[in-house]
Homo-oligomer: A and B are copies of this chain.
Amino acid sequence: MHIPEQLFAALGHEVRLRCLLLLQREGELCVCELTHGLDLAQPTISRHLAHLREAGWVEDHRQGLWVYYRVSSRLPAWVREVLATTAAGIVNSAPFAGDLLRLGAMPNRPGARGCA
C-alpha cells in the first residue's frame, strides 16, 4: 500500500520504530534476534512485525526454522530516505543504542555464521 500516513503510524510506536531501526542498520534479522535485541516477549515482536509487514514496510522470508525480516525493497525513494535520516538521527540515543549493543552481544546468532 505505502500510504504516507500509514508509514508514520507504523513508526509511531516505540517497538516498531526500534525494530525498523535494527533492520535498517543490520539489513536482515530473524525474529529471535529482534526479540533478543529489544529484550521483549516473542509474541510482542511477532505482532508488531506483522503490523509492519501488512503495511508493506518490511518483507519476510522463511529459511528453515527462522523467518528473516528486512526493510522492503520496493519502497519509494523518499520513504527509504526518511528511514535513513531517522536512523541516523536517533541511533545514538536510548533505547535504540542499547538495542544495537544487546544484538551485537547476542550469543548463538543464526545466519551466515552458522552458530546455531
A residues in contact (CB < 8 Å) with B: 4-6, 8-14, 16-17, 76-79, 81-82, 85-86, 88-90
Contact = CB atoms under 8 A, between A and B. Distances in A.
Given A4-B11, A76-B89, A82-B89, 13 more contacts: A4-B17, A4-B89, A4-B90, A5-B12, A5-B14, A8-B10, A8-B11, A8-B12, A9-B11, A11-B12, A78-B86, A78-B90, A85-B85
Contact of A78 (B6, B79, B88): B88
A10 B5 CA distance: 9
How many copies of the shown chain assemble into the complex? Answer: 2
Contacts of A8: 8-12, 17
A74 B54 CA distance: 34
Given A9-B8, A12-B8, A17-B5, A85 B89 contact: no
A78 B85 CA distance: 6
A12 B4 CA distance: 8
